[in-house]
Structures are given as C-alpha cells and as structure tokens.
C-alpha cells in the first residue's frame, strides 16, 4: 500500500495483525472443535492510567474475536503489592490460564520487576520474565516480548531481511529497545543501540538500513535523520494537539517528511500497535500448545 504524497511503502500493521488474528482464530476453532478447552489469557490492570485502560480493553476484545478466553482483573491505584502478587500466584495455579499479562506501567509503589518475576515463566504472555529474557539473550526458544516480536513479524511480512543489514535502535527499555535489538541481532543484523545519553544520534541514525525508534519522544526523528531507502519502524505512540486544538495520534517519527525518504515505513496509528496485540494472542496460543502438548499445524506462526 502507498499513500498519496508518500513515496515509501506503508508497512500496514493493521492488515498484517488482522491476518494473524484470523489464522489464530482458525487454530483455536480447530482445537476447541476437537473437544479441547480454549486458550486463556488473564490480564491484570492496576490503577487509573487512561491509556492502559484503552490498551487492556483492546486486548480483551481481540481475545474475544479470536476465541481466546480472557479475564480482566482490575486493582485500584493504591492496591498493595501483596494483593497483586497473590492474584498472580492464584493465576499461576489456575489450569485454564495459559497467558498472564500485567499491563505496564504499574503505580510507582509497586516493584515492576518483582511483579513480572511472580508470573510463572511458562504463562508469561509478554516474555518479560527474566528467565524468558535470558532465553532470548541466549538465542533459545521462549515467549518473546510482544512489541519487538510484532516489529520482527512486520518486517518478515514485507520481505525485509535484516541479515547483514545495519540496524539502529533508538531506545533501550526492557520492554522494547533491548529485546528488539536482540531479535535483530538474532536475525544477523549489525545492531547499534542508542539511548538518551547517545551523542550524534542523527548521524548514527543516518547509517541505518533499518531504523527502529522507541524513544517515547513525539516526532523526534525527522527526514534528515533517515538514510534514503531505509526501512523505518516507529514504535512510539503519543496523543498530540495541533495549533487548532485538534488532537491526533503521532509516533516518534515525523511521518510526512520521513515517508519521502524511507523505502518502507510504519504509520502511527496502524503500524506496530496492532501487531503488539496480535503477538499477545499468538504468545497465549503458543503457551497453550506447550502446556497442553498440542503441536502446531499452521505454518503461519512458525
């Protein structure tokens, strides 16, 4: 798909995610038609962050459409860490639960690491348990973090092979930057990681064949940062208001300019966001298959 006034090809995350969800729905239908229970995802949400509430709602709806059973457990912003941890212990013991997702960020008084590590590694739906991070770092199979996995699947879908390419990742969070860099490395890219202390960021970015931006800074990357013909993946998501007071969703990349220079680019919204949800469903089904010892028949997710 190419949009008007855009020379780059748009990497359509909405369409790619829809195709993945359709494939997963077919898998779930096949499993349940054979008399097995449906895969199940438990989502834990703590606090009142409006964006988190929207993300969680979208995740639960996506489960419903795919035939995956889902449960939402909501805690108030002042919930005690022990209340959240005891829910996680309960979910770890519940046989109908294959995936557990704790929506981040958590309120400041709750230790994120402690919570993520309380999730049983084989039920970890977002691949953020330190054991699963270790599996990724050592190139072993395991659930991968959803957003980085979504980036990799989107590249695959559009025939972008990182092998031998120069990849630059801006952002080093545990959630996005670090795992996406490891996954590009696993695909034989030559990877440079940048962060808030990096110098000459624009110059480094201009060396990238594949540029992944996950800095959480609205429209930080402009056309002049991009090598002509590069593939640009914008992970950022922000609500911005223009001079007329109109609100719109933007990414970390200034899209209009970048799309004149890049060969392929993700839009925001409709790029990495929908892929993140599709990968959450995919991880849940994969966890289910492992736990129930049911082999995969669909080649689409191998």
By CB under 6 A, the residues from 24 to 83 that bind ligand NAD are none
Look at residue 95 and give its three-state secondary structure. Answer: coil
Choose between 160 and 279: whose C-beta lies nearer to ligand NAD. 279
CB atoms within 10 A of CB 65: 13
Contact of 233 with 183, CB cutoff 8 Å? no
Which residues lie across from 99 on neighbouring strands?
41
69 flagged as catalytic: no
Please report whether residue 236 would count as binding ligand NAD according to CB under 6 A: yes
Q: How far is the CB of 82 from ligand NAD (least distance, A)?
A: 26
At 160, list the tokens: 């972008």
Binding residue for ligand NAD, selected from 272, 279, 280, 285, defined by CB under 6 A: 272
Choose between 31 and 124: whose C-beta lies nearer to ligand NAD. 124
Choose between 42 and 237: whose C-beta lies nearer to ligand NAD. 237
Binding residue for ligand NAD, selected from 41, 125, 154, 214, defined by CB under 6 A: 214
Look at residue 23 and give its three-state secondary structure. Answer: helix
Pairwise CA distance, residues 113 & 174, whole Å:
11
Catalytic residue among 69, 103, 165, 219: 103
Q: How far is the CB of 302 from ligand NAD (least distance, A)?
A: 23
Please report whether residue 9 would count as binding ligand NAD according to CB under 6 A: no
103 flagged as catalytic: yes
Look at residue 102 and give its three-state secondary structure. Answer: strand
Please report whether residue 195 would count as binding ligand NAD according to CB under 6 A: yes
By CB under 6 A, the residues from 139 to 178 that bind ligand NAD are 147, 170-173, 175-177
Pairwise CA distance, residues 153 & 23, whole Å:
14
124 flagged as catalytic: no
CB atoms within 10 A of CB 56: 19
Binding residue for ligand NAD, selected from 42, 56, 210, 237, defined by CB under 6 A: 237
Pairwise CA distance, residues 146 & 152, whole Å:
10
Q: How far is the CB of 172 from ligand NAD (least distance, A)?
A: 4
Q: Which stretch binds ligand NAD (CB under 6 A): 28-36, 39-47, 233-241, 289-297?
A: 233-241
214 phi/psi in degrees, rounded to 5: -140, 60
Specify burial of residue 291 (Cβ count, 10 A radius: 0-12, 13-18, 19+).
middle
In total, the chain counts a number of residues equal to: 302
Which residue in this structure is represented by tokens 């201009």? 206
Choose between 195 and 289: whose C-beta lies nearer to ligand NAD. 195
Pairwise CA distance, residues 94 & 81, whole Å:
20
Binding residue for ligand NAD, selected from 194, 221, 231, 261, defined by CB under 6 A: 194
Q: Contact positions toward ligand NAD, by CB under 6 A?
A: 147, 170-173, 175-177, 194-196, 198, 201, 214-217, 220, 235-238, 272-273, 276
- What residues are labeled active site? 59, 103, 126
């Amino acid at each position: 798909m190419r949009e008007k006034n855009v020379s780059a090809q748009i990497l359509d995350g909405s369409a790619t995610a829809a195709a993945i969800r359709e494939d997963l729905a077919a898998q779930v239908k096949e499993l349940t038609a054979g008399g097995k229970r449906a895969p199940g995802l438990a989502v834990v949400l703590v606090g009142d962050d409006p964006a988190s509430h929207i993300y969680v709602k979208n995740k639960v709806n996506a489960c419903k459409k795919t035939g995956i059973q889902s449960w939402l457990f909501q805690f108030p912003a002042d919930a005690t860490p022990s209340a959240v941890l005891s829910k996680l212990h309960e979910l770890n013991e519940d046989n109908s639960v294959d995936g557990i997702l704790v929506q981040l960020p958590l309120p400041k008084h709750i230790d994120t690491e402690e919570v993520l590590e309380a999730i049983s590694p084989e039920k970890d739906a977002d691949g953020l348990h330190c054991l699963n991070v270790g599996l990724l770092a050592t190139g072993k199979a395991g659930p991968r973090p959803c957003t980085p996995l979504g980036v990799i699947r989107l590249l695959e879908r559009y025939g972008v092979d990182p092998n031998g390419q120069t990849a630059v990742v801006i952002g080093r969070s545990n959630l996005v930057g670090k795992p996406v860099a490891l996954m590009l490395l696993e695909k034989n890219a030559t990877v440079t990681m940048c962060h808030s202390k990096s110098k000459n960021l624009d110059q480094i970015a201009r060396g990238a064949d594949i540029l992944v931006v996950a800095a959480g800074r609205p429209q930080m990357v402009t056309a002049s940062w991009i090598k002509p013909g590069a593939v640009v993946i914008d992970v950022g998501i922000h609500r911005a208001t223009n001079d007329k007071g109109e609100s719109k969703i933007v990414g970390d990349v200034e899209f209009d300019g970048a799309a004149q220079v890049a060969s392929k680019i993700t839009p925001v919204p409709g790029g990495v966001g929908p892929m993140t949800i599709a990968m959450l469903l995919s991880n849940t089904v994969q966890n289910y298959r492992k736990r129930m010892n049911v082999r995969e028949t669909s080649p689409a997710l191998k």
